[in-house]
Amino acid sequence: MESRDGIVITDPNQPDNPLVFVNAAFEKMTGYNANECIGKNCRFLQKHDNQSDANNTIKEALQKGESCLVTLRNYRKNGDMFWNELSISPVRDNNHNVTHFIGIQKDVTDREIYHEYLLKKSNMLAVKNEDLQELCMTDSLTGLNNRRYLNEQYLVKCKRSKQKQELLTLFLVDIDHFKFYNDTYGHLSGDDCLKKVAKAIAGSFRQPTDIVCRYGGEEFIVLVSGLTPEYAAGFAERIKDNVCQINIPHESSLIADHVTVSVGYITFQPDQKANLKSIIEKADVALYRAKNFGRNQIQSANHMRIT
């Protein structure tokens, strides 16, 4: 059965990883026949419209012999631009050496145009509702507390914890490869994913004094009192595991077939040095380290000095 998707095969063992096969759907999609494509690197479809983020993702995947999923602006032979969703996968021999890469290409122009329309519409609504949102303490999408609530309650939390001589722990949680999720499933599904992840994170904590908020985008913050550093690590694992257990499919993730999160956290004394900005910055460093080490894991900033 003939594929509706464009299929290409490249040879990474030749200079510049040239095309060695294109199917009929690729020819129809691009307007180029096979003879015009074989021997060239597939980037010729971009002409001079280089997109550094997507190109860097492809380059890194090729260097590491890994799969990746990107969306590129490409151009047909007649000059018309189209959005190309490109999925790249390595082919290996019996010795696990990469012999070829297979690229599956989909014309997703209609989807991207609709996304742009939704984004513009959303931005217009956001401008109109900005003042109202500032007055609200609840994130309208997830039902969690919002950033303003965190800012206002932080000092209250610090005061109470200091009186009780308790430590505070701040967890910074980020959904892994959420942009890929939106690109694959659409922003409406992305919103549904955010709501489910928010519920899983909130379900990791039971005390009414725990503060669970959507910090922005796909990031969440949890502020909890009374945890030792050892217990804090366990709660971070609980967050990660609870999100995994809801098993939201994520076929474009580079690390799992379902939605995962990375967590950075810090346990600290609620004194005058522990301003919220500084605490979040330390947790963000730990979160960055969790992402850099492969995502779907936790990292602690407890070794960092708070100033």
- Active-site annotation, residues: 218
Give the number of other Cβ atoms within 10 Å of residue 284's Cβ. 16
Phi, psi of 215 (to 5 degrees): -85, -25
Cα separations (Å) of 146 from 65, 74, 169? 41, 39, 18
Cα separations (Å) of 189 from 2, 65, 180? 30, 30, 12
Q: Are the C-beta atoms of residues 231 and 238 closer than 8 Å to each other? A: no
Structure tokens at 226: 């009374």
161 Cβ contact partners less than 8 Å away, ≥ 6 residues apart: 167, 168, 225, 226, 270
Q: How many residues does the chain have?
A: 307
Task: Provide the H-helix boundaries in the chain.
Answer: 24-30, 34-37, 52-64, 109-135, 147-163, 178-185, 187-202, 229-245, 276-292
Structure tokens at 16: 């510049």
Cα separations (Å) of 283 from 203, 226, 231, 236? 21, 18, 16, 12
18 Cβ contact partners less than 8 Å away, ≥ 6 residues apart: 10, 11, 38, 39, 40, 41
67 Cβ contact partners less than 8 Å away, ≥ 6 residues apart: 61, 87, 88, 89, 90, 254
248 Cβ contact partners less than 8 Å away, ≥ 6 residues apart: 193, 196, 197, 258, 259
Beta-bridge partner residues of 225: 168
